[in-house]
Chains A and B, each alone.
Chain A
């Protein structure tokens, strides 16, 4: 069975500080992709960052980086230098190769950036 777990329903961070949003996953498929999406209060889903299961290096995209620990089956999102506009829901998703690029989403973490 495929499973994605986000254990932090809500997080707060001071503006300009870094924050880590946790994500653990479970799959028996050796090949999979891990994704993070941002959903602001306006409702759209914005793709942030991707990590492949065979990638040797952690993915980075601007202020976003993915702390990928394969043995622990974790794919935490790190946001550096938080901005007020980072306040949103953040979803972790997994796509096992054998599932037709089907995404399994976590329950999300609501991040609030405090000025």
Chain B
């Protein structure tokens, strides 16, 4: 009964390809997030959705496109992959975007490696 699950766990692909990462949460949370963790372990927010509505969109190349079909799912599609996209991508969810006191619950991460 994993709370936040993302697939795949590992993704190895060639430069220029298009790939997707899926995320689902069964916590009943309203808000979901995508983070990128680089090789130095720095975590940076990419996107956030609240009830299927985009609320945070940091400076991310437009090759990255999030999609939220419902509030339990937030997928990340990446076009024309580049070497610099190699990282661990984390999905997370929390109770609501209006609250600063809610912890975010993270998936196990997707390790993306570009050859």
Contact = CB atoms under 8 A, between A and B. Distances in A.
A100 B97 contact: yes
Contacts, number: 69
B55 A100 contact: yes
A32 interface: yes
B100 A33 contact: yes
A25 interface: no
Interface residues of A, number: 25
A54 B90 CA distance: 29
Given A107-B40, A107-B41, A32 B100 contact: yes
B41 A101 contact: no
B41 A108 contact: yes
Contacts of B108: 43-44
The listed residue with most B CB atoms (<10 A of its CB), out of A89, A95, A101, A103, is A101
A101 B105 contact: no
A101 B109 contact: no
Interface of A: 31-33, 35, 37, 39, 43-45, 47, 50, 52, 89, 91, 95-97, 99-103, 105, 107-108
